[in-house]
Amino acid sequence: MMGDAESCSSRVFNYGWNNGNHIIKVEAYNEVVNRLRELNEPEVDVPGFEDELWVHFNRLPTRYVRYALDMKVERAKDVLMHKRLLHMAGASAIAIGPAIEVRPVQVRSASGVHRINSLHSNSQREISPQDSDIPGNMRHDHLKLATHEITISTNDKPKLFRQLTSLLSETGLDIQEAHAFSTLDGYSLDVFVVGGWAVEETEKLKHVLTRKIHRLEKQHWLKERNSLPMKKLEQTGINFNYVNLSSRGNNALEIDASCLRYEKQIASGSFSDVYKGTYHNQDVAIKVLKNGNLNENIPREFAQEVFILSKIQHKNVIELIGACTKPPNLYIVTEYMSGGCMYDFLHMQKGILTLPSLLKVAIDVSEGLSYLHQNDIIHRDLKASNLLMGEKGVVKIADFGVARLLDPAGIMTAETGTYRWMAPEVIEHKPYSHKADIFSFGIILWELLTGKLPYENLTPLQAAIGVVQKGLRPEIPRDTHPKLVELLHHCWHQDPSFRPDFSEILKFLQHISNMVEGKRKLVSCVEATPT
């Protein structure tokens, strides 16, 4: 999942593909991905990871090329931490608080004068550390004082860097180095290297800074709480402090976390883990948000996913059993699908679908999506990894973290989803509708036909640029049923108005299915006839 970051390839189009700074960013991105694979980081194997990582690099303007230069092979794992902090900061309007990481680091000794680089102002200034700035209880033994790296992400605002610098100095920290970045979508990523705190008390330092920055953030949030973005969120009817599940009756209640039993982890992402478990002796899937306690930010997607799942019921949509919505227990509990996800079946298990089986899957997905669209819900992240298989071959649509109620004006978050499945109008930040889901369905249909990753020889960004600028589409195998070829071309048409609705797609698929079944019966009858 990409979230609501406005970081898109359409901005890259404006800079130009051959722009020197952009090339540096692409090279850094590729080096980081390769290094993380060498380190066997589990996050790399999560479907859509490369797309999310590219979004992270593009959240920082191209002129901030130093981030790409610094975050190459040597600091590849730091990129994961920065990506996580920025995501947590994205929920600060909900939970009022910074996302912060503090860790001891080893830095070569320098002169008594340290240089601070601020990319907010593109200026440099020098400071001379004073022992008097160090708290009295720590002055007695400088040998035990360590160098720490402090990374802070929060809503960006005027004078933020100056406020954070003052706050660190007031805490008794000697700022040796600092880097400040502003993202395109209004968040900060500030990295400070400081001295003046005992290495044994790293966690205490994080607690002290979190509390102080929390106060700073709260003061700003109280001034901005009536801003337009917050009003739009409130208009969706979602209570971010508590999501009321009672509207669906006894089938969806607030779950007591103590009644959940965990058996094994079945999936892991940047911000959540999924476990197979039981609830009152019923097999369930438990989606657990990471860092979901009172002192952390509550991701916006959690509230949205619970809200939407509590409003829908269909045989081809994952069923909500209930949720734990009171921090620190933030869980979404759904029915357990024993067959796993379609992505693993196609790409990990190298499964092959016969034409009748493929049509059955496509019809299941179409029925679920037709239901969602009739209820003005756009999924926005359709792909094989979000299709789950049950014991009896039924396929259900899952993962509604970025799903939204349709905005009649077409004003929706740009570039939401995963590049390889994303409609061109979404990539280009144009107004879009439920027809974006139909484009993604076309890519899924091709995926079911071939068992391959869309545009597997291209990076996610290259694929996105090809889709928009060159009308690039996956190559359809020659032996594909002619009617399916026709359907694919309709679904991934560049102009959304030419794409069919799912009610039409359903009729078309059922017609093909009847043709295939009729042909199969005819062949069986001929073979059974004695000569």
Task: Please state, in angstroms and rounded to a whole number, the distance separating the CA atoms of residues 522 and 526.
Answer: 6
Contact 129, 116 (CB under 8 A): no
Tell me how far apart the alpha carbons of residues 328 and 320 are, in angstroms, rounded to a whole number. 20
Taking the CA atoms of 131, 134, 139 and 141 in sequence, report the sign of the dihedral they define. negative
HSE-up of 264 (CA within 13 Å, CB side)?
3
In the chain, the amino acid numbered 46 is: V
Percent of the chain as helix, strand, coil, to the nearest 5: 45, 20, 35
- Please give the pLDDT value at position 449: 95
pLDDT at 127: 28
- Specify the residue for token string 């997905």: 365
CB 354 within 8 A of CB 407: no
> What three-state secondary structure class fits 90?
coil
What string of DSSP letters covers 240-309? SS----GGGGGGSEEPPGGGEEEEEEEEE-SSEEEEEEEETTEEEEEEEETT-STTS---HHHHHHHHHH
Helices and strands (H and E) in the chain: how many: 17, 17
Distance of CA 505 to the CA centre of its chain: 29
* pLDDT of 518: 76
pTM of the predicted model, to two decimals? Answer: 0.58
What length is written for the chain?
Answer: 531
pLDDT at 236: 35
User: DSSP label at 499?
Assistant: S
Three-state SS at 514: helix
Q: What is the pLDDT of residue 229?
A: 35
Determine the Cα–Cα distance for residues 191 and 153; give it in Å rounded to an integer: 9
What pLDDT is stored for residue 130 in this prediction? 33
Q: At what angle do helices 482-491 and 502-528 cross, to 10 degrees?
A: 170
**Given this model, what pLDDT does residue 99 score?**
84
Residue position matching structure tokens 């994080």: 206
Catalytic residue, candidates 381, 399, 407, 437 = 381
Active site residue 381: yes
Residues 94, 268, 58, 407, CA torsion sign: negative
For the chain, 531 residues long, the average pLDDT of each consecutive 10-residue run is: 34 40 73 86 82 78 62 76 82 57 70 34 30 32 64 80 84 84 79 88 89 71 40 37 46 76 82 86 88 46 84 92 81 93 88 92 96 91 92 90 68 66 88 92 96 89 87 94 95 95 94 84 60 58
| pLDDT at res. 156 | 75
Amino acid 265 reads Q
Rounded CA separation 297/290 (Å): 10
